[in-house]
Structure 1
């Protein structure tokens, strides 16, 4: 197929899909106003938001509204085709956030990409599908969260997926891929499978690590996640396209009458009864909103839009377990939310008779609670935000997998490289044709899937020195000065848990991300560093101040140094020498000072911010309880990566799907009322 003909066909297909999408949307009149109230309002239509909205709307008697700041994608190839993984970061479906200057590194700010679209980060991410080790979730449970251990989570990991094994026994044997059937789902919404092509140098990499004493893990999702593994991806095996949250939890259910979604609308605050001007919320169509701006906003891109109404009562059947989550104090009733298309648009209101569920991601969920009067009182007072609930933990405990890139180009031309897709037009054209016609070849293999989750004890003789250094630290040594005592108490427990597991052979300390072109990027998986995400304005359209504080705890830096030294040992193995490796960054003779400079200049996010609204006891800096109810409220929950008390050693999308699936069926069953 000529390039011009292919372009024409592609354009036609995109237009056709766009029209089909429009037809689906038209199944419910897009001019239909929003209801004055819904049983449930979900803030954020990313992974967790769409999962929760979908599951709640399975009960036809319950109405659910999901509000998304971004737009719906149009099934563009850059979203769907795996060859384009990473190409849409920084584009129209990205919030394009940045960190504060990282003075402990090189003083520069870093990009912090986050999905801004129907489907959230699932349309931007690298598609990797792994859960981490059972140990990570058992640690969650040990921190005061009954039911959140591995055995409690596994049914929901399974529920989210349809797992398709590698179809060829020869490929499975060559690339050491196996699976544990009882660890996988067979009828979940997300398609989880393997690409139609494998780069052969993955075998060389695994052989090198095996030779150094790191056994291959045959199924990285069965709870024994430590060592090199060929990780599956959220890839539809039928057409080799991305299986994201929008296509799996929304598109097939768009005609449900009780499943409402609006896009292009930014939730500006949660309405808390009796706080500020929330006691009486005006109808924006009958005289103006709280800011004196009247009228409705016609810019909505969703499935129904209109004015709010008078505040309805909270349903009498709000579960008793919600009401009793904060005994001995007056819990706030959440009325609904306020939202607008942009800073100059009128503010609109919509009300929840049962619950508001925040699912805006670890950064924006923390920001929204703070803007709504829930957070550290000292922070809120700086911006004259009326205090609803004094919660020191909101926006603290930020964790991320920080990574540092490397480059060791492979010069053996007999091994195909992904870089040829950009440097060799003929090779790329043939690969594209193979993808279009056969759904095989290099275009199916854009996601980095030959990874390693390595224990510290198996890669360095310095492991126990590092563990001893961590053990000697006082909890406050590397936290911010003036950290609230409840947060110190919570971090003390986290630190004890992390240090006690640091020397185990079955607990990963860091990850190797192999791109099959010479990059063996390394990242810290169980960081001791803790950051913050705080408002720096009362304006909801201003981004929050994001300070991940990567490597402020020196133990995290020591792990990265050892990981980069271990890369040298990997490259020196005979199987890797076959690739004719030319080490470039860091140089082969780099000493520890030089490696630290590479780290300082190269640290970036792995796109896994979490922990800012931690599921912990209130006295340990927690923001939500084990039912994910925000302390001090009757009917506000959070369901996204912000609730993780400690970040697991995994790419987070599979974890978030599991958490969101669990919410309906855990003790806080959102769709089951206690009485009528």
Structure 2
């Protein structure tokens, strides 16, 4: 059966089972809630499901994970690797966008984020690499003991299926750095495009040797990275199918979907926002000497607090010193939509926010934890003045290129959309024995190149970076603690940019003529601030890509190095046509390509940094929010600096480590009873939720210890899985991460 059918028909057929409330031979995800739980986890993406699963291993502990999105229905567009990238912008995406990027072309950009059970692991490009050991050693050097390069391996690694293929494509591995009993299945596809051999050979000729193993901590150079691909059935091995579905009958592990957490409840704060023993906030942000003289929000000259006449009416502020852990949270408030009644559920031990770097920052701000002036602007009572919340936003900015290969003797992934016969044969091969081009959707032939090895201008760029004042390219008026934190980060970034063993940028190869480049260790810093007190309004996301000129210089050198790669004999054989950037483009033209082409690599991080309080930190090394007893953040928001990697493997590892920390911290602590006023039947909150069921066959009662934990058997996949939900399929495939830019130009 050909799956590239009408998008309209696909959407119609997809919606039928959801509307009818499909039941498989299992129990519904959404079921009546308890009045309280030991742990409440906000967000059921990668980190949320990992933490929830691991905490619920203790049978006497109850865990609730709350997800704003719905559960997928095992659609082919989610599971089959050929569809990688096709569901971005679809029903499982938050559909966020940035503010206008005035430093580029003045336009907004999409900021895709998973809004679905499993989060980004449902939508991402499936790449599995952990970054370099230098990335995590830097985390530890910033004051986070125990967070250096470690061996948290939440995977079951399967080497390449053929020694001959492994030798031909230089795919080797170090068994010591791979897991053998983790939930996530990590392997290689059953098909490789030969263009990758040419690309790596070309880079080898230019002095960039192929990495032995891209996950052993030495991340510089070209490498075939594995993907979260189940080797048994060649389908996506995502967080839902590895950390939730096999444990659906665990009675102390509850998940609800379609419910938006609107705020974290802070003890002593009533529904009207009043605080016990309030004092007027005035110009005192309550953070003590470490906080400086302003709030960390970029208002006014030098960031100084405006006079009272220029502020909102005086606020009541809990005089809370984040250095003293005496603020306690009691639960969360949630609702399915803005017009529905708000419901509450209580946590007797901890609330763990795992909503991703953007939404976690937003939630803390809505709950009264964040930069004081920002909260005052939207009439939100300040429970804890913490300037770092929403600052330090980092991402991997990428620029798409287009060098189509004209040598017809090489099979191209574009044939899947231009040659119906070829695609039908590939589909049949995949359906019959799970081999062929349909297994090779993820871009796994990558390169992580150091600047000194690809540019004669590296010394000049390093000189420019070293001579910058830390405040030169930051948002004006930041709190001194945030500036102190960035000063430490900048020193680390400059040191590593000079090294031959540390990646400055990435090449993402799609085997059809796109060598996308992306900055791995950006110097630029952005913000994520609420723009309304309404929790159903998205935050103002400002990545501020390339505001620091060092990032732009790295991209220019990367694009110029692409020309050198294309000029090597192995790449000349592919007969590439240099369209974007043009072969004769000067620096001005290249800058124009950069300004128009910059997009996210879907890796927002850093907005709730794990740093000391005096460096603008939001969480400590136990991921506990500074100034609180029982509120933690576990997602990419805690990264002090973004690693040179696709982030999912890192997030899985962070979440596994976080679960161990939380378990250890709670060994000797006692639960706090839920408020006695809790009498609402919370099941009514789920009345409007879609009923989504999951199979219960072969359900273990504890986390896996065996080498293989496969995803659902074919017999348990919904009938709708063969019907794609794919808008404009002729343009959706194989544009990968720079899909919008390239597809719009050349469709």
Distance 1:101 1:2 in 2: 40
The answer to whether the 8 A contact 1:510-1:523 is kept is yes
Distance 2:353 2:636 in 1: 11
Distance 1:526 1:225 in 2: 13
* TM alignment of 1:204-223, pairs within 5 A: 204-223=198-217
Confirm whether residue 530 of structure 1 aligns to residue 525 of structure 2. Answer: yes
Name 1:308's counterpart in structure 2.
none
The answer to whether the 8 A contact 1:531-1:547 is kept is yes
| Residue number among 478, 485, 490 corresponding to 2:485 in the alignment | 490
Confirm whether residue 388 of structure 1 aligns to residue 383 of structure 2. Answer: yes
| Residue number among 211, 230, 235 corresponding to 2:229 in the alignment | 235
Distance 2:274 2:456 in 1: 65
Distance 1:168 1:586 in 2: 37
* TM alignment of 1:43-62, pairs within 5 A: 43-62=42-61
How far the C-alpha of 1:20 sits from its partner, in A, is 12
Q: Secondary structure at the match of 2:541?
A: strand
Confirm whether residue 582 of structure 1 aligns to residue 572 of structure 2. Answer: no
* TM alignment of 1:156-167, pairs within 5 A: 156=152, 158=153, 160-167=154-161
Distance 1:118 1:75 in 2: 12
Distance 1:459 1:513 in 2: 16
* TM alignment of 1:69-84, pairs within 5 A: 69-84=68-83
Name 1:107's counterpart in structure 2.
106
- Partner deviation per Cα, 1:225-252 (whole Å, 9 max, x = no partner): 1100001000000000000000000000
Name 1:22's counterpart in structure 2.
23
Unaligned runs of 5+ in 1: 282-324
TM-score, normalisation: structure 1: 0.89
Distance 1:185 1:44 in 2: 26
Name 2:314's counterpart in structure 1.
none
Distance 2:550 2:463 in 1: 10
Q: From the superposition, tell whether residues 328 and 482 of structure 1 become closer, same or farther in structure 2 (CA, over 3 Å).
A: closer
| Residue number among 182, 185, 198 corresponding to 1:188 in the alignment | 182
* TM alignment of 1:401-550, pairs within 5 A: 401-550=396-545
Confirm whether residue 553 of structure 1 aligns to residue 548 of structure 2. Answer: yes
* TM alignment of 1:90-489, pairs within 5 A: 90-151=89-150, 154=151, 156=152, 158=153, 160-277=154-271, 329=324, 331-489=326-484
How far the C-alpha of 1:503 sits from its partner, in A, is 1.1
Confirm whether residue 605 of structure 1 aligns to residue 604 of structure 2. Answer: no
Q: From the superposition, tell whether residues 345 and 674 of structure 1 become closer, same or farther in structure 2 (CA, over 3 Å).
A: closer
Name 2:64's counterpart in structure 1.
65
- Partner deviation per Cα, 1:76-97 (whole Å, 9 max, x = no partner): 0000000000000000000000
The answer to whether the 8 A contact 2:507-2:517 is kept is yes
Q: Secondary structure at the match of 2:244?
A: helix
The answer to whether the 8 A contact 1:67-1:262 is kept is yes
Distance 2:274 2:664 in 1: 30
How far the C-alpha of 1:26 sits from its partner, in A, is 1.8
Distance 1:59 1:667 in 2: 12
How far the C-alpha of 1:672 sits from its partner, in A, is 2.9
How far the C-alpha of 1:279 sits from its partner, in A, is 8.2
* TM alignment of 1:5-16, pairs within 5 A: none
| Residue number among 636, 657, 666 corresponding to 2:631 in the alignment | 636
TM-score, normalisation: structure 2: 0.81
**For the aligned residues, what is the CA RMSD?**
2.5
Name 1:294's counterpart in structure 2.
none
Distance 1:103 1:663 in 2: 38
Q: Report 1 or 2 for greater relative contact order, CA contacts < 8 Å, sequence distance ≥ 6.
A: 2
- Partner deviation per Cα, 1:40-75 (whole Å, 9 max, x = no partner): 000000000000000000111000000000000000
Q: From the superposition, tell whether residues 218 and 225 of structure 1 become closer, same or farther in structure 2 (CA, over 3 Å).
A: same
How far the C-alpha of 1:167 sits from its partner, in A, is 1.5
Distance 1:556 1:279 in 2: 43
